[in-house]
Amino acid sequence: MNTELAAATQRAGEWLVCKVGCTQCCHGAFVLSPLDTARLHVGMETLRATEPELAADLAHRADMWIVEHGPEFPGNLETGLLGDTAEERERFENFANAAACPALDPATGRCDVYAWRPMTCRLFGPPVRMGDGAALAHCELNFVGASEETVAACEMPLAYDLETELLTEIPSKGETVVAFALVGLGEDLST
């Protein structure tokens, strides 16, 4: 994925304005797959061993996020699992849409878990197709004034097959959001 992102970034040049401090895509809750949860758990374990102050700060921001948004969480606050009923899924559509991600350092605009970021974060920015035959989508801040041909030339291919294969290898008990993954809730989602 990193190779594809680097190549797409190089092709896009100045059309791709993503950079540290641009945090538009870092707001709003989104669903984490068990693989995303596992990535964040590894990241937090690594940070606890190598940068314990940063890990503690991340856990604190995640705790505060849960305190603020937990009462409206459409799922189980004890496990961090999102609900799977139609009503809970509908409630999630409007859940914490303006909330900053707890992994976002408010002082620097940097993602503190960038190396372990979820797939949604890895795909945001360059033009990507989210399914067979789907139209190209990209961040609205990128490619302003670019032709369709320019956008198409900068498409980032996705590794759906690999991600799908890895997801089949992880026993899934449900989905969660970043804050719960950072504080360790949902640990059993990816084991």
In a domain, 15, yes or no: no
pTM: 0.82
In a domain, 155, yes or no: yes
Task: Give the closest residue to 32 by CA, choosing from 24, 22, 41, 19.
Answer: 41
**Phi-psi category of residue 145: left, alpha or beta, with phi > 0 → left and psi -120 to 50 → alpha:** left
Q: Domain span at residue 173?
A: 2-8+22-186
In a domain, 68, yes or no: yes
The pair of structure tokens assigned to 115 is 């190396």
| Domains: count for the chain | 1
In a domain, 161, yes or no: yes
For the chain, 191 residues long, give each residue's pLDDT as a single digit of tens: 567 777 777 888 888 888 888 888 899 999 998 889 999 999 999 999 999 999 999 999 999 999 999 999 999 999 999 999 999 999 999 999 999 999 999 999 999 999 999 988 888 888 888 766 677 888 888 889 988 898 888 888 776 566 666 666 676 678 999 999 999 875 554 44
What's the CA gap between 125 and 19, in Å, rounded?
Answer: 10
In a domain, 191, yes or no: no
In a domain, 16, yes or no: no
Report the Cα 117 to chain-centroid distance in Å: 6
